[in-house]
Structure formats: structure tokens, C-alpha cells
Amino acid sequence: MFSRDFNEIFHKYATDKEIFHELMPLRTREILLVAPAFDAFTLEQDGLLTEILFDGYYQLNMSNPPRVTNVSTVDEALERCASRHFDIIIVMSRLGQGGHVELSRALRQAAPRIPIYLLLNDNVEVGVMDRRRQELQRHFDQIFVWNGNPEIFMAMVKFMEDRANVLNDTKVGLTRVILLVEDSIRYYSRYLPILYSEILKQTTRLAKDQNMDRMTRTLSMRVRPKVILATSYEEAMAFCDQFQDCLLCVISDRKFPKDGTLDREAGIKLIRALKERIPDLPTLLQSSDPLKESWATALGSGFLNKNSYTLGAELSAFFYERLGFGDFVFRDPQGEEIARATDMEDLRDKLRTVPAESLVYHAMRNHFSSWIMARGEVQVAKVLARFRISDYRDPEEMRTFLIDVGDYVQRMKTLGKVIPLTDSTPRDEPNILRLASGSMGGKGRGVAYTHSMLSRMDLESLVPEANIRIPRSAIIGTEEFTGFIHRNGLRQMVQDDPDDDAIKRRFLMGSLSPELTAKLRLFLTKHAKVPLAVRSSGLLEDSLSHPFAGLYNTFFLPNNDPDPAVREVQLVEAIKLVYASVYSKASRAYFQAIDYKIEEEQMAILVQEVSGRRFGSRFYPHISGVAQSFNYYPVAYTQPQDGIANIAVGLGKYVVEGEKAYRFAPPYPEMDMLPPKEQLRTTQKRFYALDMSRTSVDLYSGEDATLLNLDIQEAEKDGALQHCASVWDWNDDRIQDGLDHLGPRIVNFRNILKYDQFPLARILQRLLELIREAMETPVEIEFAVNLDPDPQNGKPTFTLLQIKHQLMESGDVNLSPEDLDPAEVFLFSERCVGNGTVEGLRDIVWVDPEGFDKFETPALAAELEKLNDRFRLEGGKYVLLGPGRWGSNDRHLGIPIVWSMISCAQVIVEYAMENFQADASLGSHFFHNVTSLNIGYFTVPYPRGSSLLDWDWLRRQPEAWRSGCLVHTRLEEPVHIVMDGRRSASAIFKRAPAPLPEEPEEFQ
């Protein structure tokens, strides 16, 4: 029960990092120091104040120390206040000159909301000023004394920040409050620097002990206890009332004003009153009279001699032992120590063994929450503070809850993060491990982002029938690649343009760093005999501008040799060969083609468990695929924003390499994009699987060294087609569901897409929406599905392998009628599929509408086939224009062709006539070829509306050949074709745009 409650409450709060960002909204950036000329000169020349602040911030890993502006006169101060914002104004005493009140009034008028502090030089001035203290306190927010102690400046800055932020921080982050009760300017000016120094030192130490990253460590400094100062009994009690739930401790002088007069026992009375209210509140009585220690002991309070030479050390001991900055000391009800925990993991272990009465003792005093808060675990401390002893049936239930909380916190601290691999890293946690530092590269970034995103989602409610996960993964950062190239002297070798075999041999001879080798060995012990994929993750991979994906190698490893050393060698070889693929001939040619320097590329490595299951001696998933959130080739009633998915049986290599996969739109999984006979022709015939029969592999021979390319019948023998295929019935010319009939198999996933055997379409639709919104761009995902029930919860599993930006070819294309010059355009249509640009086409094959006879379409088809054959022999491409529907079997709706008859067409146009109109061909038998070859497909309706088709211009162009109404026109200049897939708009310009003028040589 309580674990469920804890989980619900935990997720209501922001993460620790988010809380850290909300803490201390007011931080000191600008300080105006108003000092006499001599003091200003001294501070400026010696760099005293700036250096103190800078050094203090630097040593405490705190960023952005404030800037100090020195002025010596009132006029200068007022002028600066008028031109710049300041967070605090410090006025150094002008003893002998007077005018403190007048100065403060002038500054207050110029900057009414800025704290103004008066800084006296030494104790002599304190004595002189005491007679005017009440008057000065009305005009200055606080009075301090310097006494030559440079640390007072840091204390004044922190004191101002605490006063400004304490209300926000206690509310947002449950930040603890230290109440200092002291009315003596001399003593609190001495005491605050020591207090802040100790607080910051202890907070910094704990941040380092928690193994936080640098940014989190810096942010966690904001959760430190806040110090507030009271100078009277009434003020102290008011603060206690206001911050009672957040009080960490009270440090009080013995004598200070009470009821308007100086009371020598006010501190004792204050501690006594607070102990009655909060019995276990840590308190510290300070007095210059050492004999008062017995009084403090009687009250159950600590004691500090104000004149002690070891004041800082004694205060440090108080923080360490009483305020949660040191070990957690388990005590029995009599206060005797019985156990000690040094960190969170140790605390969880001790919770299992300490007596129940000790747990009750500490829980009643809120010690667990305070100790956890001191370690920056704000989120957990806030939740723990909600529970009381009365919420549990008995102490043992509380013990179980606290242990569960510890385990839960450990999981939550790593959930969605990339964490270093160590001996204590849990094997079963769905973490992404870091094996070497540096950038994670394109694929690594995508997987890490996916992991973080999924960890924040309620996947159980998203699709309750399935598990949604990422594969267990490890990332080798780019620093290892850089070191590998340098350490093995490979830079010069690759610059000499060797062949691919020479590169692979030389890279295999290189050595990885000892640190990575040790990590790989540890990784393999935690992933013994689990198939692995070793993937490239280049810095430039999955970029928005160029499709680097697929350029580098990916290796699949059975990882099943009984000898761990052999498995280690195979993994190391795969990593080296991925590194080598950066410098392959194909890679270098691609870099040259896109005008990139290959030196700009750095390679990270992504190692993932292969998703799937074992079928005898082979391993593969039931389904793998790629889905995109934007579809350039929508059919029927689908829209481009509905997206598209391509799926197949077996490893995803089959899909990503463009083999014949099954296509569907996730919002409409029941809709067939191809007619039945076309499904039979284009169905999946083969599939890829990982060969588990061999333990030794020859990775040098290439990516396919460990893979099997099998006939789809082998998948049926394995039982993998049960829900993935149907049967073609020759007798009735139709598809029959299931595999109970004889006949050719059609891999169309009908049980899954039409009968919802597995909610694949819903998962893809929801994930594409979520990821697209998160990345604010069209996205592409790769995935795999295992239909077998998971042993833990009985559900099949959807594994999200990769995410990346969907490549938007041709950049920003914006085609609309109002932006076009009709004189420059041959054709414009707002009904198009396809995306990108087509250049270099000078041939247009077209059916002249003036001579067209719809009863002669079969003869036109035969002529067109002959013309297409000539183009095929010459290796040419053309733009094809014709009336009605291309490819229709009904000769009265269009020209009855099959794909082979127009296979050289690069752009296909269907135009409508007043008496000859038909719906577009998409979904017909050649649609698979149109989509797979990125053929432009335009429709010009009748009436034209916003569309354009300039027949007059076309008729004026030279004809290369004519047969009746079928014409071949060869242009003197090539046309320029633009397809804006996002708007479904297309245009054919009469000539390509003029190239930009070259830069003068001196600017190149």
C-alpha cells in the first residue's frame, strides 16, 4: 500500500534537478560598494573584495560570482543606481564624516527595493554607533562590522540571498532553516562567516560524496540550509512559528532583548520554549561564560563558548553529528549508538537489521527526512515528510516501507539516465550504460533521449496489453575513438588513401584503451550469452541535413561462445571494424560529395542487446520495422501527417535496406494500400536471422558474417508466421486469413493489423505523436516486436530501437500559386505525392489532349511501351503526362499499362479533361514502385482551379518523335521540378534557376 502511495506522491513532484532550478530565484549578480576614497582605493588596488568572492565561489564549485562596482561619493552612487540594476548596496562607515542617515535616504529613494547594508570598520565604531543603533536600523536593512575579516563580504552576500529566498525555498524544496539568535553586531558579524563557511563546506562535501555530475553538484548547492537572523526573543519566536516544519536547528545567544529590555536568560527561555514544542530540535546555546554549559546540558542543548579559539571546529562537529551532514547514527530510545550508515546504500542495508524501536525513535524525530535532505535528495525528503508513525500498522510495516523507499530511490536516481558501468550496476535495471566518455553520437543521443522519455511516461496506461521498452544498451563515447586513432598512429595511414581491406587490417591491429577493455569485460559478464548488436553512432549520423545513417557498419554478435575471452575478442573486433568503416571508400566518397571533411566525424559506439527470441539455431524478432511520422505518399483518405510504417518478419536489416516490406498507415491499420494481387506480387519472400549455430565468426568478411538470409518458409517452420501471414486462394482470387490453407503465403500481418492480436498500430501512432511533439520535427523510429509473452507479466514486448529526425529532403520548399510567376511555370499542382527536387530532365513524353481518343487507349499503351524501351536502352529518364488514370485495367478510365511499360518515367502526371476524369492511381498495382523509387506523382484536376498546365508552351517546344497523339518532346534546357511533400504541392519550372555568381577569388 505505502509503496503505491509513495510512487503516486513521488511523481507529483518535480525531479531534483527541476527543484534545484526553482531554488534561490534571487542570486547576487551586481554589488554596489559605497566606500570612502581610501577604502575604495585599497579594495580596488588589492582586488580584495572581488578576489574573495571569486575564490569563495570557485572553491565551492559555485558559478557566476557577483561583480563589484566601487564608488566613493553619493553622487557617483546615485548615478550608478540610475544606469544599472544592483542586487545589494554595501555602505562602508564614514566615521568622522557622518551623514549615514542622509546617505541611506538618498540611496533608498534611488533604489527603493534594494537591500542596503552598513558595514562598520571595527569594534570601536560599533561602540560609537551603538548610541544611534535604533536610528540606523530604520534606514539600513542590516548592520555589520568588518574588523579586517575579509570573509564578512561573502557572508553578507549569502545572508542577503537567504533573506530574499527563504520563503520560496522552504515552500518549493522543503529547504531547511538555521535560526541564529544574536543581537550583538560584533558577534553575529564574527559568527555568520564561520556559519556560512561550514554550511557551504559540508554541502559541497556531500555533493561530491553523492557522485553527482558537475552541473547537478553546482545546482545542489542551492538546497543548502538557509540562515535567518533574529535579534530579539519576539522576532525569534515569530520565525519559529513561520518555519517550524523546516527548522534544522536554532543557535542562540544567552542574552538578548525580550519584552523590550535586555534579558540575560532570554536564550535559555527560548530554547526551553522550543523544546516543549519540538522536543528533538537540535539547539546550540552560545555564551562567553563557559559556566553556562551545564545549563545547556540540562536543556538537552549543545553549547559553544563564544570566545573559543576552536569555534569553527566545534561548529563543524555540531553540523556533522547533529544536523545530518555526517553518518546516520542509529540510536536506541536511550540515545545510545547501535549502528552507523555512511551513505544511502549503507542506510538501506542497516534498515534491514536495526531493532524496530530504533526505527521508531528516529522516525518520530524526522531524522530520516533530515538526513536525506542534507544529501540533496529533496524529492524523497519531501515525500517522506508526509508520512507519520500513525500511518503504519506496526514498526515492521514501517521498516518494509523504508527499505522499499530506498530501493525505489536508487532506481529513480538512475531511471532515464546514462550511468557509468560499475561492479554494483544492477543487471536487470533498464539502464543505458556509459563505457567511455565523450559525445554519444547520433544513434546514442537518440537512444538516450528515448530512454529518458519513456521513463517519464505511464506506459502501463498508454498500452496496457504490451510492454514498451528499449533494449539494454551501452555507449562508448567519442573520446575512445579519438584516442584509438592517435594511440595507434592511424591518422597518417588513412590520409594515404588505402583500400578498404588495408584499413580494416590496420584497425584490427590497433588496441583499445585498457580502461575500455576492462569495462567491456565487465559488461560481458553482466550480459553473458545474450546476442549483441554493435552499431555506429557517429557525431554526424542522424543529422537533419544528410542521411549518414546506413553509411557505417553494424555487426550482430551471437555472443554465445562458452569462453568469455572469445566473446571479448569478438566484441573488440566489431568495435574496431565500426571505427574502420568511417574511413571506407564509400564513406570518403560520401563526405566529398556533401562537401564535408572526414576529420569532422568522430565515432561513438552503441552496443545493444538484440531484440527477438531464439528459434532453434537462429535468433530474430517476429516483427521489425521502421515508422515515420510524415508520409510523402498518402493514399485514399490518409493524410501525410498520419505517417507510414514498413514492417517485415525477422531482423530489421531487411526493412532498412529497402526490401519488399508491408506498408500501412498507423491510424488506419485495416486499410490495404495495395490490391490483393499486388500484395501477392510484392510480399516478403526472405528474411534475416542471426546465426546462433556458430560460436566463432569472421567479422572481417563483413556485416553479414553472422547473419542468415532465409526463405520465408523457414519462418513458418519456426512458427513465427502464425499471426503475420495469410494465404492466397488461387481458386477465388482472394486472400484467406490464417495459415490453415494451401497456397502462397502473403506476409500482411492481418491478425495483428485487422484483428488487433497485438496493438502495434496503436503503439506506433501514439509514440510517433509523442516523439514528434517532443522533438518538434517529423521523426523516424526503428522497432522490433516479440509476440511471445514475457515471463514476468505475460505480455508481448514492443522494443523501440532508435529514433531520429525524419530527413526532409530539399530543405524549405514553399510552393503556392501566389508566389509563382506563371510565365516561368509549365505545371503546378496542389495534389502531389513525393518530396524533393528533380534536375536534369530534358525529355517529356505526353499525350496530346487535342488528338486523344479514349477508345484507342490500348494502342497508346503499346506505343508507349516501345518508346519506354528506347529510353531503357539509352539509360534515360523522362516526365510522363497522360489523361485519366495511369495503370487502370479499365481502358475507359485511362491508358492500361503495367509498370514495366513506363519504368523510365521519373515524374508521372495525370491530367483530367472535361469528359475524361478519374481518381488518382495511388493504391493501384504500381504504387509500390512509385513509393520505393521516390517517383513524383502529380494530379492536375479539371477544372484547373489553382493548378497550372501550360499546353501552349509545351506545343512550342521541338518534337523529337510523334505517333498520333503520343508525343516525345526534347527540350533545349532541362526542367526544374520541385515537390513539397509537406504541402502536397509540386511544380515543373520551364528551366532550372540560374546559378549564383561565383565569389571573387580574393573572397574564396
> What does the pLDDT look like over 313-339, one tens digit per residue?
787 778 777 776 778 888 888 888 899
Which letter does DSSP use for residue 537 in this model? E
Q: What is the mean pLDDT of residues 208-219?
A: 53
DSSP labels for 164-180?
HHHHHHHHHH---EEEE
442 vs 918, higher pLDDT: 442
pLDDT (average), residues 225-246: 92
> What's residue 430's pLDDT?
62
Q: Compute the distance between CA of residue 550 and CA of residue 656 in angstroms, rounded to an integer.
A: 8
Q: Answer yes or no: is pLDDT of 118 > 80.
A: yes
Partners of 286 in beta bridges: 253, 304
For residue 380, what pLDDT is reported? 66
Is the four-CA dihedral 863, 864, 868, 871 of positive or negative sign? Answer: positive
Instruction: Tell me: pLDDT of 210 over 70.
Output: no
* Helix (H) or strand (E) run with residue 833 in it: strand 832-833
**Count of other CB atoms within 10 angstroms of residue 592:** 11
Sheet holding 745-746, edge to edge: 734-736, 726-729, 745-746
pLDDT at 880: 96
C-alpha–C-alpha distance, residues 938 and 910, integer Å: 6
What are the φ/ψ torsions at residue 818 (nearest 5 degrees)?
-70, -20
β-pair type (734-736, 726-729): antiparallel
Determine the pLDDT at residue 14: 44
3-state SS class at 71: strand
Nearest CA-CA partner of 606 in 743, 396, 439? 439
How far apart, in whole angstroms, are the C-alpha atoms of residue 775 and residue 544? 12
Tens of pLDDT along 905-933? 999 999 988 887 755 544 333 554 565 56
Helix, strand, coil share of the chain (percent; to 5)? 40, 20, 35
- For 56-167, strand residue ranges (E) read 67-71, 88-92, 116-120, 142-145
Separation between Cα atoms, residue 643 and residue 630, nearest integer Å: 4
Query: Is the pLDDT at 1003 greater than 50, yes or no?
Result: no
Q: Any idea which of 784-788, 789-793, 893-897, 898-902 has the lowest mean pLDDT?
A: 898-902
- Encode pLDDT of 805-844 as tens digits: 775 554 456 777 778 899 999 999 988 877 778 999 999 9
If we measure between CA atoms, which residue out of 158, 168, 160 comes closest to residue 22? Answer: 168
Instruction: State pLDDT tens for residues 610-623.
Output: 999 999 999 999 99
Predicted confidence band of residue 213 (pLDDT cuts 50, 70, 90): low
User: What average pLDDT is seen over the chain?
Assistant: 83
How does pLDDT run across 713-739, given as a tens digit for each residue?
A: 999 999 999 999 999 998 888 999 889
User: What tens digit of pLDDT does each residue of 469-489 get?
Assistant: 989 999 999 999 999 999 998
DSSP element (H, E) containing 637: none
CA–CA dist 185, 127 (Å, integer): 10
- pLDDT cut 90: percent of the chain above it: 38
Instruction: Give the model's pLDDT for residue 746.
Output: 95
DSSP assignment of 392-451 equals SSSHHHHHHHHHHHHHHHHHHHHTTSEEE--TTS-SSS-PEEEEE-S--HHHHHHHHHHH
pLDDT digits (tens, 9 = 90+) for 555-573: 999 999 999 999 999 999 9
Range scoring the smallest mean pLDDT among 26-35, 330-339, 361-370: 361-370
Phi, psi of 413 (to 5 degrees): -65, -25
The predicted-structure confidence for 512-525, as pLDDT tens digits, reads as follows 999 999 999 999 98
pLDDT at res. 10: 45
pLDDT of amino acid 216: 56
Which pLDDT does position 622 carry in this prediction?
97
Question: How confident is the model over 426-453, as a mean pLDDT?
Answer: 82
Query: pLDDT-based confidence at 877, cuts 50/70/90?
Result: very high
Task: Count the neighbouring beta carbons within 10 Å of the beta carbon of residue 186.
Answer: 17
Position 751: which residue type?
N
Closest to 198 measured CA to CA, from 296, 304, 323: 323
CA–CA dist 970, 750 (Å, integer): 47
Question: Which residue pairs, CB below 8 angstroms and at least 24 apart, start in 200-209?
Answer: 200/60, 200/158, 200/224, 201/60, 201/316, 202/316, 202/319, 202/320, 202/325, 202/374, 203/374, 204/60, 204/61, 205/325, 206/325, 206/374, 206/375, 206/376, 207/61, 207/376, 209/343, 209/375
Where are any strands of DSSP class E within 515-617?
532-538, 554-557, 603-609, 613-615
CA 835 to chain centre: 29
Q: Which pLDDT belongs to residue 754?
A: 92
- Determine the pLDDT at residue 1: 39
450 pLDDT above the threshold of 90: no
- What pLDDT was estimated at residue 426? 65
The reply to whether the predicted model has a pTM over 0.85 is no
CA–CA gap between residue 823 and residue 249 (Å, rounded)? 83
pLDDT digits 0-9 by tens, 933-992: 678 889 898 888 888 999 999 999 999 999 999 999 999 999 999 988 777 889 999 987
Query: Can you give the pLDDT at residue 524?
Result: 92
For range 597-610, the mean pLDDT: 88
pLDDT tens profile 144-185: 988 777 788 888 988 999 999 999 888 877 788 999 999 989
- Provide the pLDDT for residue 152: 85
Q: Give the H/E segment covering residue 988.
A: strand 985-989
Q: Widest CA span of the chain, in angstroms?
A: 122
The answer, yes or no, to whether residue 255 has pLDDT greater than 60, is yes
Residue 383 has pLDDT above 70, yes or no: no
- Encode burial over 12-34: b for 16+ CB neighbours within 10 A, e otherwise: ebbebeebbeebbeebbebbbbb
Give the residue-averaged pLDDT of 588-603: 73
